[in-house]
Amino acid sequence: MTIPDLLWLLLPVAAAAGWFAARHSEAKSSRHYWNYTRNFHQGLNVLLSEQQGAASELVDNLSASMSQGSADTRRDTADTHIALGNLYRRRGEIERAILLHQSVIDKTELEDDVRATAQFELARDYDSAGLLDRSEKVFRELIDSPHRGNDAFESLLQLHERENDWQQAIKVAVNCQQATGIDCGVRLGQYHCELAGIAIKDAKPSAAQALLDQALVYSPECARALIMLAELAIDANDHARALQLYEQVEGLRPELMPEIIDKRFEALLKTGDAQLLEAFVKRIHNQRNAYSVIRRTRSVIATKYGERGADRFFKEQILKRPSLKGLRDWAQDQLALSKPGERDKVQVICNLLDQVVEDKPTYRCHSCGFQGNVMHWRCPTCGLWDSVSTIIGVEGE
């Protein structure tokens, strides 16, 4: 065994030993505790020895304890075997993990909660092995259990999400909500948005519309559904409706303004309503804005009202809310205006700012800290929905 392997094992072993010690600190006889820890350490020795058939030895040991021990000993032995099975799984030795967890499930003498935990871990073993059908079957058997039922629902949802099986995910989430009372509204909204996205790709706007309406029934504040509905409205030339929906998005999630600003201006320009456009530009003018909003508004002002007004707006906004991206644009403006003798120096500053801006991520997950330059409605690292948003501040928007 290499040193990194050993270190890898030490962490869960230390955690497990602490947990077992805490469990046994109360009113348990020293003899019982001794039997228990001996059992655990024997198991670890077998695990560390990496002998062929080591898991079979542990299974034999489990059978012996089941036939001889008291109810407490049986429970503790089963817990030990489940923990050791988990260690095998983490090492990638799935067959051994399955053997250990299955052997616990097979013991009829055990209490239901211990067996449910072994079942849950067995389903995770199958999941790790890529045997998703088996994993799903075991999770489904568990969802009605008073023990680990909620965990099984969560794992089933994650399984269908990974598979992009949104229809199944919807069924499980609805069941979960009815059976456990856990609110799955945000997820149900997102699942319907996923299906609506597929309908849009298949050129089925009516189906997409119905799915997005349903998304809002489950999740009335689903900004993604509102944004998708606004885009459908633009495609259907219903610009007034699109503007109404964008207004709602801004009210619910102002940090999403950079995501909607291009389409919002597109809808505004297509209405041909000069007063409406002017009022919106004025509103942007009077508030602090994200960089993308400033840049897009500047280009609209330049086209509609002239370059001088656009430059004035830009400078005011950059002072109101300084950002590296804004500074880079300002430096590029200066490059065009600079005298030939100074141009090289300004160019160096421009190159430097370009490099700095390029290295900065645009989005961050508020839950796990994942950063990237593409908007995700579901965090690719922690799997949470609606947790990724634009980075606001000097280094971001």
Residues that bind Zn ion (CB under 5 A): 365, 367-368, 370, 379, 381-382
User: Nearest distance from residue 377's CB to Zn ion, in Å?
Assistant: 12
State the minimum distance, in angstroms, from the CB of residue 371 to Zn ion: 10
**What's the closest the beta carbon of residue 367 comes to Zn ion, in angstroms?**
4
| Separation of alpha carbons 325 and 154, rounded Å | 41
Both tokens of 127, joined, read: 């999941």
Structure tokens at 130: 């890529």
Neighbours of 187 (CB within 10 A): 23
CB of 8 to Zn ion, least distance (A): 24
Shortest Å distance, C-beta 35 to Zn ion: 43
**DSSP 8-state symbol, 136:** H
Measured from the CB atom, the residue of 209 and 387 that comes closer to Zn ion is 387
Residue 240 CB, shortest distance to Zn ion, in Å, is: 37
CB contact burial 95-134 (16+ within 10 A = b; e otherwise): ebbbbbbebbbebeebeeebbbbbbbbbbbbbbebebeeb
CB nearer to Zn ion: pick between 243 and 365: 365
* CB of residue 255 to Zn ion, shortest distance in Å: 16
Please identify, using beta-carbon distances, which residue of 323 and 389 lies nearer to Zn ion. Answer: 389
Compute the least distance from the CB of residue 342 to Zn ion, in Å.
45
For Zn ion, the closer of residues 92 and 380 by Cβ is: 380
Q: Is 328 or 364 the residue whose CB approaches Zn ion more closely?
A: 364
CA-based nearest residue to 85, from 121, 45, 39: 121
The secondary structure of 200-265 as a DSSP string is HHTT-HHHHHHHHHHHHHH-TT-HHHHHHHHHHHHHTT-HHHHHHHHHHHHHH-GGGHHHHHHHHH
Q: Give the DSSP letter of residue 283.
A: H
We find the least distance from the C-beta atom of residue 19 to Zn ion, in angstroms, to be: 27
Cα 320 to Cα 191: distance, rounded to the nearest angstrom: 39
Place of tokens 């559904």: 225
Q: How buried is residue 63: exposed, middle or buried, by Cβ count under 10 Å (0-12/13-18/19+)?
A: middle
Q: Which is nearer to Zn ion, 248 or 367 (CB)?
A: 367
344, HSE (Cβ side, Cα atoms, 13 Å):
1
Smaller CB distance to Zn ion: residue 306 or 380? 380
Counting Cα atoms < 13 Å in the Cβ hemisphere of 34 gives 3
Give φ, ψ of 364 to 5 degrees.
-145, 145
- Identity of the residue, 255 or 333, whose beta carbon is nearer to Zn ion in the bound complex: 255
CB of 393 to Zn ion, least distance (A): 19
Nearer to Zn ion, 261 or 365 (CB): 365
d(CA 132, CA 291): 44
CA angle at 237 for the pair 231 and 242, rounded to the nearest 5°? 45
Which of 253/325 has CB closer to Zn ion?
Answer: 253
In order, the DSSP letters of 44-86 are HHHHHHT-TTHHHHHHHHHHHHHHHS-HHHHHHHHHHHHHHHH
